[in-house]
């Protein structure tokens, strides 16, 4: 079963009629930028949604929701829809988006930045200081390969424990 895609304007109409808007992105992504009134229910912790005229699922660009449409449809105890273009499409349509510029970057963006810096440093150091520094690039590359293959990222865990990523209770 698949879910139909609706425009931000149609989504707003449904929201005005009592539909529920659910953001399936991880909590760190939702905390940094969200559609006002959207509930956060990451894919890893989906629960059935019912008791509303409709449920509208969204992510950042619409790709994650489209890729998981069958799972989202199974969780929709009422008519379910996917927001066309996700939060990016919502913003492009001129709809309001809440942004917390003080929230840290999403963990995966932090991983990409740190991994890129470590690989670049390993290459530069291996060319200018000692060839052995190329092992740094190889180690980071192996870690990224392992993360992609298993779904577990040690660097993401480490970055998640950093002080700037901890929320005050």
- Name the residue ranges covered by the structural domains of the chain: 5-99, 107-165
Clarify whether 78 is annotated catalytic. no
Q: Are 91 and 15 in contact (CB under 8 A)?
A: no
pLDDT digits (tens, 9 = 90+) for 112-160: 999 999 999 999 999 999 999 999 999 999 999 998 888 889 998 898 8
C-alpha dihedral, 75 to 79 to 39 to 97, nearest 10°: 140
Fold topology of 5-99: Oxidized Rhodanese; domain 1 (3.40.250)
For residue 167, what pLDDT band results from cuts at 50, 70 and 90?
low
pLDDT tens string 63-89: 999 999 999 999 999 999 999 999 999
In sequence order, which residues have a C-beta less than 8 Å from that of residue 86 and are 6 or more positions away? 58, 59, 60, 61, 62, 63, 64, 65
**For residue 23, what is the enclosing H or E element?**
strand 20-23
Q: Which of 21, 59, 140, 155 is catalytic?
A: 59
Residue with tokens 């940094």: 32
């Amino acid at each position: 079963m698949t879910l139909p895609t609706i425009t931000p304007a149609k989504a707003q109409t449904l929201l005005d009629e009592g539909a529920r808007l659910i953001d399936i992105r991880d909590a760190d992504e939702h905390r940094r930028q969200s559609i006002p009134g959207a509930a956060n229910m990451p894919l890893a912790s989906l629960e059935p949604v019912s008791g509303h005229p409709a449920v509208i699922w969204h992510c950042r660009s619409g790709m994650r929701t489209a890729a998981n449409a069958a799972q989202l449809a199974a969780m929709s105890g009422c008519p379910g829809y996917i927001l066309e273009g996700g939060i990016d499409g919502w913003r492009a349509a001129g709809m309001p988006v809440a942004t917390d510029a003080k929230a840290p970057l999403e963990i995966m963006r932090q991983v990409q930045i740190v991994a890129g810096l470590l690989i670049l440093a390993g290459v530069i150091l291996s060319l200018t200081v000692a060839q052995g520094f190329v092992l740094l690039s190889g180690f980071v590359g192996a870690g990224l390969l392992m993360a992609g293959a298993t779904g577990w990222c040690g660097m993401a865990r480490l970055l998640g424990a950093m002080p700037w990523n901890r929320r005050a209770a």
